[in-house]
Amino acid sequence: MVRGVSILSLLVALLVAGWLLTAQQRSGASGHTASQAVVRAQQAASGLTFQQAQVQLEQFHALNGTYAGASTAGFDVTLVRADASSYCIQAGAGESVSHLAGPGGAPGSGPC
């Protein structure tokens, strides 16, 4: 009888340990999913910032016939390069840097 109880308690301990292990692995996966969601949100925010800066650059170009000398003040982007017919703006820092080469370009990862 004592032997049966010992085996039963060992089985229960193994089941609890297995359940805890799988719960920990699942929470690790959701942490990775949360990290991916943060990256996607940062990319979406950069895309909106780029669109707003593009409007300002296009207005400047319409008035002056060039992108050179334009300003992106008020937007969280840096005008890295601008000449008579093109420009490149950049947002973010470190590994989350993205850029947009315009006019008519699409946001891309990395610096200009």
Q: Model's pTM, two decimal places? A: 0.62
pLDDT tens digit sequence for 28-78: 556 667 777 776 777 777 778 889 999 999 999 999 999 999 998 888 899
Q: What is the 3-state secondary structure (H, E, C) of the chain?
A: CHHHHHHHHHHHHHHHHHHHHHHHHHHHHHHHHHHHHHHHHHHHHHHHHHHHHHHHHHHHHHHHCCCCCCCCCCCCCEEEEECCCCEEEEECCHHHCEEEEECCCCCEECCC
pLDDT tens digit sequence for 67-81: 999 998 888 899 999
